Chain A
Amino acid sequence: MRYLPLTPEDRVEMLGAIGVKSINDLFVDVPVSARRDAPVDLPHHAGELDVEREMAGLARRNRAAGEGPFFCGAGAYRHHVPATVDHIIQRSEFLTSYTPYQPEIAQGTLQVLFEFQTQVAALTGMEVANASLYDGSTGAAEAVMMAQRVTRRNKAVMSGGVHPHYVGAIETLAHAAGVATQALPAAVDAEDAVIAAIDADTACVVVQTPNVFGTVTDVSKIAEAAQAAGALLIVVTTEAVSFGLLKSPGEMGADIAVAEGQSIGNGLNFGGPYVGLFACKEKFVRQMPGRLCGETVDADGKRGFVLTLSTREQHIRRDKATSNICTNSGLCALAFSIHMSLLGETGLRQLAAVNHQKALALRDALKAVPGVEILTPRFFNEFAIKVPGKAAEVVETLAAHGVIAGVPFSRLDAKAGLDDVLLVAATETTLDIDINVFAKALTKVFAQ
């Protein structure tokens, strides 16, 4: 119990100062029927060494991405994170601080959030950004709710290229709030199909680029069609590194841009914690969910930063709040911001180009495998292939040979009828030898 600093003598002395005989006297308000006199049936405390052994035992039973050929993407990407990033986020003053409610002694966190907001706005090509949401998928769901507030309409149309988990998160929140959703059938390259679905009830159109199949799309036409009909265009991006190579959502006319920021500064972590990037046009700022940091001055006229526009938020408006969100993904946003600062525009562009180059090499290698068909017409660092048979079985077979081959589409959506589709991604961490091993293993499996 090394985390508890009171000694038995302290406890006796403190009980005396309070004027009670035993600790039980402080739990008198608990109904007798609910008091537990004995510890619950769980192991007793363990020393640091024992905890490390037990945790390491669990960790060893997982195959880490860095142990060999690895090609999974589908919304979470393995990139190299500079050592500096993890060092800085582990500084006590960043790691162990709370929400910056007292700006005088939280300028470190606040300035980072202001810089983060500026970086996200620049990356997405939007006018303003918030200080992060939980992740990309919950951010997408919040964007749909925001579109409902802005347009006062009750229907969201989602393209067939949106990540099925994102569709799921949107549907959960939208249906609870009485917003209808129309998810178009999964399709490798049919973002434009959403235009036909827009009608007078449409609050927003949700499209993704690069989409879940990796397809890169110019969504300008959809933006025009949506806006002409009085709806908003929400552009989702799950691979933030792609912003270094491709046209931004803002340049293509997005009203709201949502992205998963995990790729920059944050590890895979089996799905979380991640960091949701959320940006929009300035005119919608008061309808934006989540936390915002703003610039102001202090009593001496010095520049400083505070959390602002919190009248939108739950702690003031309660049942009139724009969302129930109470926190952000502060530490992950910090990691994102540090990595982004290290990269700069020069580094990000180069990183994006390297990612694309690796994916082209992967495509060339897989194209040469008999039985493989490349499905994605234009891609950044991820694309879909069609394999003979079930992709999930191919993946299991290759895993037994040490190759983590990618994400079977059936894992995301079991009912789309795309059991033979496999999503594969390459990043700067992908070695040429990994690509060769993958292609050879695949050739062997299909030959059997």
Chain B
Amino acid sequence: MSMNNVGRPTRPEAANDAANGHETLTGARGLLQDEALIFELDGWNKTGVDLPPVTAAPSSDLAGLLRDAPIGLPGLSEPETVRHYVRLSQKNHAIDLALYPLGSCTMKHNPRLNEKMARLPGFSDIHPLQPQSTVQGALELMDRLAHWLKTLTGMPAVALTPKAGAHGELCGLLAIRAAHEAAGNGHRKTVLAPTSAHGTNPATAAFVGYTVVEIAQTEDGRVDLADLESKLGDHVAAIMVTNPNTCGLFERDVVEIARLTHAAGAYFYCDGANFNAIVGRVRPGDLGVDAMHINLHKTFSTPHGGGGPGAGPVVLSEALAPFAPTPWLTHGDNGFELAEHAGDDDAKTAFGRMSAFHGQMGMYVRAYAYMLSHGADGLRQVAEDAVLNANYIKAKLKDVMTPAFPEGPCMHEALFDDRWLEGTGVTTLDFAKAMIDEGFHPMTMYFPLVVHGAMLIEPTETESKHELDRFITALRALAGAAKAGDVERFKGAPFHAPLRRLDETQAARKPRLRWKPVAAAPLAAE
């Protein structure tokens, strides 16, 4: 079967090295190779693994259930596999290469010790359902992780199983819902969320059947207490507030927010995406929070891997703790045990199960190793340095860019708007793409939605002053170029990336979501 070279070829003849006008004959640029899809690499009869021989035919019981048609999967030899993926890897930006200042995303140093620990066979090669007597070390690790999370947040309980931050939000809201139902308050069907909330907050609330009502924001970027008060009532199940919030600010009135919420009989859900800004210095439990997810991959640095996996344990107040999902970790005469079924004595009020098995053990190991490395003192320093770095960036750029909230300190991230670009012909998007040419990943753009042309910069605590200064120098130079009318530098950017401005509209209009073994017409002709 020869199915190679029938997909869409890259078009070297069209590859224009816009940086210097020099075109290569192959489309490659020195070390930066073009790389075809695995389906175009002539591997239809190949395999890169040696397997034991097959000496017996399938059981006759399976007659009629066997796959006979070709599956359509190419294989590559081991050397070809390595080269394919190494070439692809070279087309990625990564935190190990340079600053990755995405706001509210906390991309920071990923210690390799954590990777090494997660690969110890005693953690990586154990089955979730092997006898509990044979996994006491793993269960104790979960217990210790829970202890650290409870201590750092000042909360009495934690549900470990959610598999990501958004999954944690779901867990928190389901616990809230279960608590309301148990108390005969099932009629509470509204969730309040500020206009600046992470998109997952309203999505989660709506997904589990709540009506979302937005709370207004004050001019200084915080929850409008008067608006909150006017919207609280017997119909409200919970509020969802991110703190520090998505404008990079601490909600000064958070204790009052909690008081008002509780007085109205509702629960306070805190989005803990930015916990790294306060860890060790502020305990959410002291603020009146009832539930908060913690992105282990962010505050406790497990690698994001181009989009996960994450882990989103949820800390819970006394009121919500009885409703946590299964499995529950308990400690009895025989050591650690798991209550795995809702309705068991130990878990009789559990709202149910969020997923198969016990959650993201591999992430627990990484996060716990990171906690041990930092310790109580180091984690406190994490918060201080994260806040210091963000304020340093704000201070050093505030004369050339316009901070969205100039008054007072920011927390972990510095938020700018696009007022300073007015009249230059350069947009936030153009500015971000030009940052790529200067060797930096762009910051978060156009979020939060409450700030026009938002540029949200989060340096994190693992950036050195030297790297911050390099970043600041680059952004000041770019700002100068924009104001000096050097629009071409921005409109065509990036010039020094593997690809330039991808057509996202076309991708959405005519979705091409998989390779197909037929010669396709050029996309441009569609």
Contacts and interface: CB of A to CB of B under 8 A. Distances in A.
Interface string B335-360: 00000111010000001111111111
B305 A4 contact: no
B95 A97 contact: yes
B303 A331 contact: yes
B46 to A, nearest CB: 6
A55 B120 contact: yes
Given A17-B396, A42-B375, A321-B203, A270 B126 contact: yes
26 contacts: A1-B378, A3-B462, A35-B281, A40-B151, A43-B376, A45-B374, A65-B125, A93-B96, A105-B436, A107-B92, A107-B499, A137-B355, A163-B356, A169-B355, A251-B67, A270-B123, A273-B163, A294-B511, A298-B501, A299-B492, A302-B10, A304-B502, A319-B203, A324-B200, A378-B61, A399-B134
B86 A88 contact: yes
A6 B65 contact: no
Nearest to A42: B376
Contacts of B308: 132, 134, 273, 327-332
Contacts of B177: 176
Contact of A23 (B148, B303, B384): B384
A354 B94 CA distance: 39
B122 A10 contact: no
A59 B137 contact: yes
Given A1-B377, A64-B126, A270-B135, A346 B47 contact: yes
- Which of A18, A30, A56, A217 counts the most B-chain CB atoms under 10 A from its CB? A30
Contacts of A328: 307-308
Interface string A93-114: 1111111111111111101111
Contacts of A86: 119
A371 interface: no
Interface in A115-146: 115, 117-119, 121-123, 128-129, 131-132, 134-138, 145
A245 B513 contact: no
A273 B362 CA distance: 6
A208 interface: no
A360 to B, nearest CB: 6
B93 to A, nearest CB: 4
Nearest to A131: B307
Contacts of B380: 39-40
A226 to B, nearest CB: 19
A43 B35 CA distance: 49
Give the interface centre of A7, A342, A348 by most chain B CB atoms within 10 Å.
A342
Interface stretch (B225-233, B282-290, B417-425, B474-482): B282-290
Given A114-B515, A270-B135, 10 more contacts: A55-B117, A95-B305, A104-B497, A122-B71, A131-B307, A176-B170, A270-B138, A272-B362, A300-B16, A313-B199
A92 B48 contact: no
A166 to B, nearest CB: 6
A448 interface: no
A303 to B, nearest CB: 5
Contact of B378 (A4, A269, A301): A4
Given A104-B499, A285-B513, A15 B93 contact: no
Given A30-B250, A115-B39, A399-B133, A331 B309 contact: yes
A242 to B, nearest CB: 9
B356 A54 contact: no
Contacts of B341: 413-415
A342 B373 contact: no
Given A297-B502, A330-B306, A360 B76 contact: no
B37 A115 contact: yes
A78 interface: yes
A356 B169 CA distance: 41
Contact of A129 (B130, B212, B254, B514): B514
A293 interface: yes
Interface string B206-238: 111100100000000000000000000000000
Among the interface residues B134, B391, B392, B499, which one has the most CB atoms of the partner chain A within 10 A? B499
**Which residue, of B105, B340, B368, B461, has the highest number of chain A Cβ atoms within 10 A?**
B340
B121 interface: yes
Interface in A1-59: 1-7, 10-11, 13-15, 17-20, 23, 25-31, 33-36, 39-46, 48, 50-52, 54-59
A14 B408 CA distance: 16
A327 to B, nearest CB: 4
Contacts of B133: 396, 399
A317 B123 CA distance: 39
Contacts of B44: 344-345
A407 B131 CA distance: 8
A243 B369 contact: no
B340 A5 contact: no
Contact of B523 (A78, A285, A296): A296
Interface string B403-418: 0000011010000000
Contacts of B38: 115, 341
B376 A26 contact: no
B200 A314 contact: yes
B494 interface: yes
Q: Which of A64, A97, A100, A112 has the most CB of B within 10 A?
A: A97
Contacts of A306: 502, 504, 507
B13 to A, nearest CB: 9
B324 interface: no
A325 interface: yes
Interface in B484-510: 492, 494, 497-504, 506-508
Nearest to A55: B117
B31 interface: no
B37 A111 contact: yes
B362 A109 contact: no
